Structure 1
Amino acid sequence: MVQISQTEDDIKISIELNRLVTRKPDVVLLPQYLKFNNPPIFFERHLVQEIDEMASFCRIFKNEARIVLVKKEKGLWPEMFQKLDKETLLQKRLEIADLIVERNKKRDEMALERFDKKRRAEIEKEIKRETAMRERLKQFQETSVRDALVVDVRKEVKTNPNPPSDRLATPLIRQPMSAIRGSGRINVCFTTQHKRSTPKRESQSNMETAYAAAGGPNAAGNLPMESLDD
């Protein structure tokens, strides 16, 4: 069952739904065309005047579907739907099919563009978040280094409260190196006249005994034997 009513602003269509139908209906709204398909329910009309397809809508309830067609120009229509024969209706359906395909392409492109914009916005947001996190980490590291330096300085001052002021200004004094002694000859002179006799060797003692036995000058033992210097 279908109920149709109109005002100066819109056209309201109520379509009774079968309780056994659970499939999502196919609704097409064009400037001069209306289709509602939810098998076994099929409702199709060609409008006499144009509507605002972007402002028009369809709502599905438990027992009925309500379609609201917003008129582009306000006023009551004497005739709402066109009366077409079979051949004209078939031709119109082919034209509407082409329009529906083109419209779906445009909607897909718009949806893809919206998705790309949303994705780029999410990526930019993530980049900004990571950049801010790196900046905070860098500031934290710099603050930690400054705090560590301050603590070290305080510890040094506490350990040595009166450091010598001229500790770093004291010059380093080096002792001059002694001259290296060169090579040369050392002359040694002995002034003493002391002489020390060298004891005789065993070979010389044997020679002297053999010479005395042979009747040499020392055989009688009168003359003393000269001492031999080594």
Structure 2
Amino acid sequence: MPIAIKDYTWEESDTDVHITVPIKGNNSSKADLFSSDEYIKVNSPPYFFEMFLYAGVDDSKSVAQLGDGVIVFKLIKKELGIWGQLSSSTLGDKDKMKARRDDAVTEKHRRIEEETEEKRRKKREKEKLALNEQMRLENEEREKIHEIKQTEIRQATEEIEDWKKKHQVLPGDEPHPAYMTGHDDGDDEHDEEDDDEVHHTPEDKKALIDKLPPPRTRQNISVTFTPRVFPTPMRESRVHEEDEWLRKQAEARRIPEIEDEDLAPEERDPFWLKDKGDSFFKGGNFQAAVNAYNTAIRLNGKVPAFYSNRGACHLKLRNFIKCIEDCSKAIELLTPPVPANASSRLRAHTRRGTAFCELELYAEGLQDYVAALKIEPKNEQLRQDAERIRHVIQGTT
């Protein structure tokens, strides 16, 4: 229950009122203050202070000063004069106090909204003035550029007119026809011969044809293409991701040398162990398959199929946590996602999603089934399983 502050002090003059409110042991900067024209409030748990003023004050000009464990209100009176008392006669009537308190809060909120709207209006006016000024400056700049262009056009026109005047052909200075036609006078006989049509005999035509070069011989050009691991054309491929995947595959194929006298020569090949584990899995001997995959991973821990297959064994053995760990490791190694590892990613997501559902973590299981559906959207069985998980989550089954 809040403790009402009673040991406040106040003093007044004809123009203002000073109220000092002590907050014992509390930080005054963290106190909640509220003031209006006729009501002030201080809330600093566990202390509480409120006062219904004797007369109205100008809240917009009044201030509150926060000190060390004390709050001082300086209230400016609306009307000059001495009050003689600080609190209103309403004090003691709970209904009237509640009504005046609600009215003060409502009036404060209305005033804040008006001030906010006024600030927005002034901001819009400033933005409008700034925009108009910017448009005016741009128009002036365009007019200057237009005037410069017109001046340059006038100068170029004047220069052309001056050049025409300087090179104008006067009467009597026309060039001789011989210069215009390109023929010399007195060579009329030669001109007539040039005007006659030239005729060629069949022999001349045959001689011209014989002089033509022979046609080019036809040849075949063999084009070879660099073989690609991925089926997509080079222009449509994601070169960086595919190169990264091929690099990981090459690293996974490198078999480290492990000194273990108990291993036979063929047991040092992790891929031979994988095939052995696959045969154990098909025969239903899941624990033996896990042992084979364990040795393969010890020899080479960068092949995602080893983890995915061991996860399938753990799923059969109901070791769901280990299944989730192995499938997560396989998905981590199956990056970047490329078409070549799509089927492996599909199996890893499906197995991990099944393990999550067995642990009743249906939301996580649904995420894996959705990821599997993105890889193979036309898989109807996956779609049905995902729908069943959604029903379980929604509680409709």
TM-score by length of 2: 0.36
Quickly say closer, same or farther: Cα 1:102–1:81, change in 2 above 3 A. Answer: closer
Quickly say closer, same or farther: Cα 1:85–1:162, change in 2 above 3 A. Answer: closer
Residue 7 of structure 1 pairs with residue 13 of structure 2: yes
- Give the count of matched residue pairs: 165
Quickly say closer, same or farther: Cα 1:109–1:11, change in 2 above 3 A. Answer: closer
State the one-letter code of the partner of 2:144: Q
State the one-letter code of the partner of 1:108: E
- Aligned residues of 2:42 and 2:50 also touching (Cα < 8 A): yes
Q: In the TM superposition, what is the alpha-carbon distance from 1:163 to its structure 2 partner? A: 3.6
- Aligned residues of 2:58 and 2:78 also touching (Cα < 8 A): yes
Q: In the TM superposition, what is the alpha-carbon distance from 1:129 to its structure 2 partner? A: 0.8
Quickly say closer, same or farther: Cα 1:13–1:165, change in 2 above 3 A. Answer: farther
* 3-state secondary structure, aligned to 1:12: strand
Distance 1:13 1:166 in 2: 107
Distance 2:13 2:111 in 1: 31
- Which has the higher mean CA deviation after the structures are superposed, 118-127 or 21-30? 21-30
1:23 to 15, 26, 30: 30
Percent identity of paired positions between Structure 1 and Structure 2: 18
Q: In the TM superposition, what is the alpha-carbon distance from 1:126 to its structure 2 partner? A: 1.1
Which residues of 2 match residues 183-202 of structure 1 at below 5 A? Answer: none
Q: Going by fraction, where is strand more abundant, 1 or 2?
A: 1
Quickly say closer, same or farther: Cα 1:95–1:77, change in 2 above 3 A. Answer: closer
* 3-state secondary structure, aligned to 1:55: strand
Distance 2:166 2:62 in 1: 89
1:5-30 deviation digits (Å, cap 9, x = unpaired): 22232211122344545535222122
Residue 68 of structure 1 pairs with residue 81 of structure 2: no
Quote the residue 1:105 is aligned against. Answer: 110
Quote the residue 2:280 is aligned against. Answer: none
1:96 to 71, 95, 101: 101
Q: In the TM superposition, what is the alpha-carbon distance from 1:152 to its structure 2 partner? A: 5.6
Quote the residue 1:218 is aligned against. Answer: none
Quickly say closer, same or farther: Cα 1:165–1:6, change in 2 above 3 A. Answer: farther
Quickly say closer, same or farther: Cα 1:166–1:125, change in 2 above 3 A. Answer: farther
Q: In the TM superposition, what is the alpha-carbon distance from 1:160 to its structure 2 partner? A: 6.3
Quote the residue 1:116 is aligned against. Answer: 121
Distance 2:30 2:118 in 1: 29
TM-score by length of 1: 0.57
Quote the residue 2:166 is aligned against. Answer: 162
Quickly say closer, same or farther: Cα 1:105–1:77, change in 2 above 3 A. Answer: closer
Larger radius of gyration: 1
Q: In the TM superposition, what is the alpha-carbon distance from 1:68 to its structure 2 partner? A: 0.9
Quickly say closer, same or farther: Cα 1:76–1:120, change in 2 above 3 A. Answer: closer
Q: Going by fraction, where is helix more abundant, 1 or 2?
A: 2
Distance 1:103 1:166 in 2: 95
Quote the residue 1:36 is aligned against. Answer: 42
* 3-state secondary structure, aligned to 2:58: coil
State the one-letter code of the partner of 1:45: M
Distance 1:135 1:148 in 2: 20
Distance 1:85 1:55 in 2: 25
* 3-state secondary structure, aligned to 1:124: helix
Distance 2:137 2:159 in 1: 33
Which consecutive residues of structure 1, in runs of 5 or more, have no partner in the other structure? 168-230
- Aligned residues of 2:54 and 2:89 also touching (Cα < 8 A): no
Quote the residue 2:151 is aligned against. Answer: 146
Quote the residue 1:131 is aligned against. Answer: 136
Quickly say closer, same or farther: Cα 1:155–1:61, change in 2 above 3 A. Answer: farther
Quickly say closer, same or farther: Cα 1:103–1:165, change in 2 above 3 A. Answer: farther
* 3-state secondary structure, aligned to 1:15: strand
Which consecutive residues of structure 2, in runs of 5 or more, have no partner in the other structure? 1-6, 172-397
